[in-house]
Chains A and B, each alone.
Chain A
Amino acid sequence: MIERPAHKTTGGAAIRLDAVRFDYGDMAMRFDLAIEPSSIATIIGPSGAGKSTVLNLIAGFESPLSGRILIDNEDMTNVDPSRRPVSMVFQDNNLFAHLDVAANVGLGRKPGLRLDEADQSAIHDAIVKVGLAGKEKRKPQALSGGERQRVAIARALVRNRPVLLLDEAFASLGPALRQEMLDLIGQLQGDTGMTIVMVTHHPEEALRLPSILFFLENGHVAASGPARDLLSDRGPSLLRKYLGSQELSL
């Protein structure tokens, strides 16, 4: 079993994609981007632009053809996913259906689930923090969609890694619930100082929290900057065009 790397404390890490090339089918992608430590970055863009690919590259699920991926100024390009200071929450399938809430969270402490007292109390704290106290023994099918994502977030909390990646994590939730989850993320980010990178189809999510926006198109970053500026009427025209087609969800 792989030992947990010693990321001592909470707090965020800087992320840099340095001339990263990656081919997805016919599309040649090239990413250059830098995310400040303890900031919130939102990635938007049309389907197939490479949004999830960026997260997969940071998490180590994909390997670049060339270029470097730096997290906390360390080269992570060839590091195994489990040794990267990163947690990720997906849209579905975050939880193992046959394990209860506490065990699903516990996997973030010990992937073999041999948990000691300290682990148990950390798990309990995390479950309380995401507002699921009393539901430790529930199986995933007895939870609502939002509650399941809360469990995944609790697991990210006990893993205590400086980067949290959200891959359309709230896409299947209703608008009110989505905002609730964003507020939870914002609150946890305030507590821990994690760096958060989220991919979303809903640009308004970028405004809910003070975030830096990255707009992806055809496999590269077409525009970036504070979300408030980019998403305003004075934003770049290609972004306005994209938003025009998204009007309904705004």
Chain B
Amino acid sequence: MAATRTLKPWAGATALAFLATLAGGALLGLAVEALRGSTEGFAAFDSYLWRVARFTLMQALLSMLLAIAFAIPVARALHEHPAFPGRALILRLFALPLALPALVAVLGITSVYGRNGLLAFGLNRLGFDAIPNVYGLTGILLAHVFFNLPLATRLVLASLDSIPADYWKLSSQLGMGSWARFRLIEWPVIRRNLSGIAGLIFMLCITSFTIVLTLGGGPRATTLEVAIYQSLHFDFDIARAVSLTLLQLGLTIAILLLLSLTGRPAEEGFSLQTTARRFERPGRTTRFVNTTIIVLGLLFVGLPMAGTLVSGLGADLLRLMTEFIVWRAILTSIVLGAGAALLSVLISLALVMAREYQQSRRQAASPGPFERGLDLGASLIMVVPPIVIGAGWFILSRHAINPFSLAPVMVICVNAAMAVPFAFRILRPAWDTAASRHNRLCLQLGISGWNRLRLIDGPALRLPMGVAFAFAMALSLGDLGTIALFGNDSIQTLPFLLLQRMGSYRTQDAAGLALILGVLCLLLMFAADRGATRLARQDGRTDD
């Protein structure tokens, strides 16, 4: 093969170096600090720390079990009724929490289960005197299940869809009952994917920051991530922050290692296609039970969203929109979010391009260290959570400059890195397909470099890049973790402002801001979803 000069490996190396610096700098900061005040630092490994670690694991485990336990019946019911009214809409709704900012969801949850929420109102009307308390473990679990039940449902449904149609024919001919069908057909398939689904949810709950910060009830219900934030932000106890961060890092690495032994995390969940056909004719009881399950699942996911909408509309939106500080926050969020999304797409594209280049050069040989490094770089943020990166740079930079002045850079960089795993997964199939279609033809015709990017690959990538950008921006817009560490009066994003208003009990304002933030994110998500659907349709066609 002709050895054309190419910048692709360099682009990939640069992206990788950026990610490595981001994570490595943070780790360096922590290491320096840990060594400097060694006695003080390790003294901080006290009983408080272990209690926090235990609670972190416990809430994640419970959240995961609950989400999966409820997701399986919902997915089964949805699968059994391919013609259920509004089924496509329900699945679309179940995709929304993926991009819904955690803060918005928290407000939605309190509007349903909180002291003045829908549930309290209903109980009151029925004559019960109980006042629900949503703070503490209950609230954390509710919010985590709210986020992960839809995700798990979609993933389990995807597993069910992978069952060959002949099995459904057979089960209906053999007259299997619901239990036999579950035991003999569905469970074996679900079980095969379960470790991936469970691992994904567990990781998401271990690193969940906003929900625990806002719904956790003080020191008894706090996780490592929140404790790191509090020790830096309120107590300025560097030694404790270091030991907490090291513990968090050790925990995520241990869990990821464990996961790599049991199975890869599931990667589907973006597609809406469900094509399975069922052949049994469900009786009246089955129909009733399944309808009830679907409606309950729908209410659980839909009510908090509706709650956000209703209480947001109840806020004085007109007054909010006249506040300078609100407009500044919206603008700051959009600028930082767009910056992060752009950076994220560029990094991912560089990784994807370099990866495919290395792969096509080695032919059938096994991947070299650079190619594996590129793959690893794409999911680096899974190993080193954003809050660890933020904390590390916060601690490292404070000797040289005022860490708060780093806020915009940190928000853009960390949020970009956060979105890389998603952007990478959107861009990679598009790029690889384009490459496999065009590589030989371009070599033969001598189209290379800038010309090839402009004429051949660019047009093929426009749509996936748009999807990745919209999705990355929605993620960044809603993120609170980094801005909570670095935010201050001179730089406030929408989630930061929202947290402040919540903190000063200006509930109405918070509800209004949550609505604005939610709408912004959902618009982006909607755009991403439409793009992804068009992308799927394009892939379905052989020629374009």
For residue A242, CB closer than 8 A to chain B, the reply is no
Q: Determine the residue in chain B with the shortest Cβ distance to A78.
A: B281
For residue A233, CB closer than 8 A to chain B, the reply is no
Report B170-208 CB contacts with A as 1/0, cut-off 8 Å: 111111110110001100100000000000000000000
Would you give the shortest CB distance from A55 to chain B, in whole angstroms? Answer: 10
For residue A115, CB closer than 8 A to chain B, the reply is no
Q: Given A59-B173, A61-B169, A92-B164, do A113 and B180 touch, yes or no (CB 8 Å)? A: yes
Q: Which residues of B contact A2 (CB under 8 A)?
A: 175, 177
**Quick check: B170 and A112 within 8 Å, CB to CB?**
no
Q: Which residues of B contact A59 (CB under 8 A)?
A: 169, 173
Partner of A92, one of B166, B176, B184: B166
For residue A83, CB closer than 8 A to chain B, the reply is yes
Partner of A90, one of B169, B172, B174, B177: B169
For residue B70, CB closer than 8 A to chain A, the reply is no
Q: Determine the residue in chain A with the shortest Cβ distance to B178.
A: A1
**Quick check: B167 and A81 within 8 Å, CB to CB?**
no
Complex CA–CA separation, A96 to B185 (angstroms): 8
Q: Given A82-B280, A98-B188, do A112 and B173 touch, yes or no (CB 8 Å)? A: no
Q: Which residues of B contact A61 (CB under 8 A)?
A: 169, 172, 279
**Quick check: B184 and A99 within 8 Å, CB to CB?**
yes
Partner of A87, one of B167, B173, B180: B173
Would you give the shortest CB distance from B143 to chain A, in whole angstroms? Answer: 36
**Quick check: B173 and A81 within 8 Å, CB to CB?**
yes
Partner of A94, one of B170, B179, B188, B280: B170
Chain A: interface residue count, which band? 20 to 34
Report B158-171 CB contacts with A as 1/0, cut-off 8 Å: 00000010110111
Q: Given A80-B280, A80-B281, A93-B164, do A107 and B173 touch, yes or no (CB 8 Å)? A: no
Q: Determine the residue in chain A with the shortest Cβ distance to B170.
A: A94
Q: List which A33-92 residues lie within 8 A (CB) of chain B.
A: 59-61, 80-84, 86-88, 90, 92
**Quick check: A82 and B173 within 8 Å, CB to CB?**
yes
Partner of A1, one of B170, B177, B184: B177
Complex CA–CA separation, A25 to B171 (angstroms): 26
Q: Which residues of A contact B173 (CB under 8 A)?
A: 59-60, 81-82, 84, 86-88
Q: Given A86-B173, A90-B169, do A111 and B180 touch, yes or no (CB 8 Å)? A: yes
For residue A108, CB closer than 8 A to chain B, the reply is yes
Q: Given A1-B180, A81-B280, A99-B184, do A111 and B169 touch, yes or no (CB 8 Å)? A: no
Q: Which residues of A contact B170 (CB under 8 A)?
A: 90, 93-94, 107
**Quick check: A90 and B166 within 8 Å, CB to CB?**
yes
Complex CA–CA separation, A225 to B457 (angstroms): 59
**Quick check: B167 and A96 within 8 Å, CB to CB?**
yes
Q: Which residues of A contact B177 (CB under 8 A)?
A: 1-2, 111-112
Count residues of chain B with CB under 8 A from any CB of chain A. Answer: 20
Q: List which B142-170 residues lie within 8 A (CB) of chain A.
A: 164, 166-167, 169-170
Complex CA–CA separation, A83 to B170 (angstroms): 13
Q: Given A88-B169, A94-B166, A94-B170, do A82 and B175 touch, yes or no (CB 8 Å)? A: yes
**Quick check: B166 and A93 within 8 Å, CB to CB?**
yes
Would you give the shortest CB distance from B212 to chain A, in whole angstroms? Answer: 39
Would you give the shortest CB distance from A27 to chain B, in whole angstroms? Answer: 18
Would you give the shortest CB distance from B126 to chain A, in whole angstroms? Answer: 38
Q: Which residues of A contact B179 (CB under 8 A)?
A: 112
Report B492-518 CB contacts with A as 1/0, cut-off 8 Å: 000000000000000000000000000
- Listed residue (A4, A81, A90, A113) with the most chain B CB atoms within 10 angstroms of its CB: A81
Q: Which residues of A contact B171 (CB under 8 A)?
A: 111
Q: Given A96-B184, A113-B184, do A107 and B169 touch, yes or no (CB 8 Å)? A: no
Q: Which residues of B contact A83 (CB under 8 A)?
A: 175
Q: Which residues of B contact A81 (CB under 8 A)?
A: 169, 172-173, 279-280
Q: Which residues of B contact A4 (CB under 8 A)?
A: 175
**Quick check: B176 and A111 within 8 Å, CB to CB?**
yes
Q: Which residues of B contact A111 (CB under 8 A)?
A: 171, 174-177, 180
Q: Determine the residue in chain A with the shortest Cβ distance to B282.
A: A80
Q: Determine the residue in chain A with the shortest Cβ distance to B191.
A: A98
**Quick check: A108 and B174 within 8 Å, CB to CB?**
yes
Would you give the shortest CB distance from A241 to chain B, in whole angstroms? Answer: 30
Complex CA–CA separation, A192 to B173 (angstroms): 20
Complex CA–CA separation, A82 to B173 (angstroms): 4
Q: Determine the residue in chain A with the shortest Cβ distance to B175.
A: A82
Q: Which residues of B contact A60 (CB under 8 A)?
A: 172-173, 279
Q: Which residues of B contact A98 (CB under 8 A)?
A: 188
Would you give the shortest CB distance from A178 to chain B, in whole angstroms? Answer: 20
Complex CA–CA separation, A92 to B280 (angstroms): 20
Q: Which residues of A contact B184 (CB under 8 A)?
A: 96, 99, 107, 113
Q: Which residues of B contact A112 (CB under 8 A)?
A: 176-177, 179-180
Q: Determine the residue in chain A with the shortest Cβ distance to B168.
A: A61
Q: Which residues of A contact B175 (CB under 8 A)?
A: 1-2, 4, 80, 82-83, 111
Q: Which residues of B contact A159 (CB under 8 A)?
A: 174
**Quick check: A82 and B172 within 8 Å, CB to CB?**
yes
Complex CA–CA separation, A93 to B189 (angstroms): 14
Complex CA–CA separation, A4 to B175 (angstroms): 8
Complex CA–CA separation, A107 to B281 (angstroms): 19
Would you give the shortest CB distance from B182 to chain A, in whole angstroms? Answer: 11
Q: Which residues of A contact B180 (CB under 8 A)?
A: 1, 111-113
Q: Determine the residue in chain B with the shortest Cβ distance to A88.
A: B173
Closest 6 CB pairs of A and B: A82-B175, A93-B166, A111-B176, A1-B177, A2-B175, A112-B180
30 examples of A-B residue contacts, CB within 8 angstroms? A1-B177, A4-B175, A61-B169, A61-B172, A61-B279, A81-B172, A81-B173, A81-B280, A82-B172, A82-B173, A82-B174, A84-B173, A86-B173, A88-B169, A90-B169, A90-B170, A92-B164, A93-B164, A93-B170, A96-B188, A97-B188, A99-B184, A107-B174, A107-B176, A111-B176, A112-B177, A112-B179, A112-B180, A113-B184, A159-B174
Given A81-B280, A82-B173, A111-B171, 18 more pairs with CB closer than 8 A: A4-B175, A59-B173, A60-B172, A60-B173, A61-B279, A80-B175, A80-B280, A82-B172, A84-B173, A86-B173, A88-B169, A90-B170, A92-B164, A92-B166, A96-B184, A96-B185, A107-B174, A159-B174
A interface residues, Cβ below 8 angstroms from B: 1-2, 4, 59-61, 80-84, 86-88, 90, 92-94, 96-99, 107-108, 111-113, 159
B interface residues, Cβ below 8 angstroms from A: 164, 166-167, 169-177, 179-180, 184-185, 188, 279-281
